[in-house]
Every structure is written in C-alpha cells, then in structure tokens.
Structure 1
Amino acid sequence: MAVNKAYQTYQNNAVNTASGGELTLMLYNGCMKFIKQAIKDMNDKNYEAKNKNIQKAQNIIQELMITLDPKVEISKQILPLYEYMQYQLKEANIKNDASKLEEVLEFVKDFRDTWKQVIIKNRQQQFAQGAQV
C-alpha cells in the first residue's frame, strides 16, 4: 500500500514539474498505452473495457487538438491528422475493428517519436547556449 502511494506521489510530481514539451510526450505515451489496452480488450472480447480505453485515447487526442496554436502553420497541418485519428478511434469502437486501432497507434507512435526528437534537439541547443555563457 505504501509503495502504491509513493508511486502515485512520484507520478503527480512528474506531471507537476514537467515542461510543456514533456507533458505532450506524456500525452502521446498515455494515448499509446490506452490504444494497446483497447486492442487487448477487443481481442479478449471485453467490450466494456475496450470502450473505456478508446474513450481515454479519444480524450487525449482531443486535448492535443485543443492545445494546438492556430497561429502556427504546422498546427494547421496536424489538426486534420488528429481529426482523422479521432474518426478512426470512433469507427474502431463502433465496428470492433482492431486494424483501425493499429493504424491510429502507428500515427501516435510517429507523433511521439518526432516530438521526442524535438525535445532532445531543444535540450541540446539549451545546453550549448548554457555552455557559451
């Protein structure tokens, strides 16, 4: 019980101290986790759990959509992809189609991997600038 409480505290601290970029990375990771679990639930014919996990993934995609800055050009290119992912998640849920979940999972992995590279590049630039001061 104490270990569980300590882990919860650790998770809360990780979220509360994370940068915007790290929070976005956490969202992508969470979305992947829920999609993978939904696929497992679908295969196990546990449709109630599948529905809950797909809804959690949809909520994360919705949050990512809300946080896009419409003034930034790349946001205008990303938004239709997020909308497509939302649609595919809905269709997967209605039709119990794991292939649609797999497709969205690949998109999320690509976004996550790209975002991870952006964070690494930013840290390298910040470190280089800090070393010059």
Structure 2
Amino acid sequence: MNNLKGYAAYANSKIMTATPAELTLMLYDGAIKFCNIAIAGIEEKDVEKTHNNIKKVEDIITEFQVTLNHKYPVADDFDNVYKYLKDRLLEANIKKDKEILEEVLKHLRTMRDTWKEVMKLSNNHS
C-alpha cells in the first residue's frame, strides 16, 4: 500500500511541476492509453470498460479543444481534427467498433509524435 501512495505522490508531483508542453504530451499519452484500454474492452466484450475509456479519450480531446488559442489560424485546423476524432469515438462507442478505435489511435499517436518533435525543436531554439 505504501508503494501506491509513493507512486501517487510522485505522479502528482510530476504533473504539478510539468510545463504546459509536458502536460499536453501527458494528455496525448493518456488518450492513447485509454484508447488501447477501450480496444481491449471490445476484445473482452466488456461494454462498460469500452464505454468508460472512450469517454476518457473524448474528455481529453475536449480539453484540447477548449484550450486552443484561436488567435492563430492553425487552431481551426486542430479544432476540425478534434471534432472528427470525437465523431469517430462516438461512432466507435455506439457500434463497439475496434477498427474505428484503431484509426483514432493512429491519429493520436501521430499527433503525440509530432508534439514531441515540436517540443524538441523548441528546446533546441531556447
């Protein structure tokens, strides 16, 4: 039990000291993790597990949407991608469709990997 408390304290401290860029990366990683768990839920025919984890991915994407800075034109492009992903997640949840979740997962991984590259480039130019 103490190990769990220690891990929770470590994880909490990691979040509290993270930069906004690192938090964004953590959110992408979380969305990917929950999407994978939802896929496992479909494979296990566990409707509740699938639904709950798809909702978690949707919540993370909503967070990305509400934090977009619309003074930059690219924000509209991101918003459209996020809307598309949420539409696909809704469809996947209704149909319990693993292939749709795998498509969403592919997009999330691409976006996360791109974000990692942006972080590297910005760190090299600071």
Larger Rg: 1
Instruction: State, as a whole percentage, how many aligned pairs show the same letter.
Output: 40
The amino acid that maps onto 1:93 is N
Secondary structure of 1:32 counterpart: helix
For residues 51-86 of structure 1, what are the alpha-carbon distances to aligned partners after superposition, in whole Å with 9 as ceiling and x for unaligned?
A: 000000000000001111011111111110000000
| Cα RMSD after superposing both structures | 0.6
- CA shift, 1:125, in A, is 1.3
The number of residue pairs the alignment matches comes to 126
**Structure 1 ranges of 4+ moved more than 6 A:** none
Q: Distance in 1 between matches of 2:18 and 2:83?
A: 26
For residues 101-132 of structure 1, what are the alpha-carbon distances to aligned partners after superposition, in whole Å with 9 as ceiling and x for unaligned?
A: 01110110011000000111111112xxxxxx
Ranges in structure 1 where 5+ consecutive residues have no aligned partner: 127-133
What corresponds to 1:57 in structure 2? 57
What corresponds to 2:46 in structure 1? 46
The amino acid that maps onto 1:13 is S
TM-score (norm 2): 0.98
TM-score (norm 1): 0.93
The amino acid that maps onto 2:48 is E
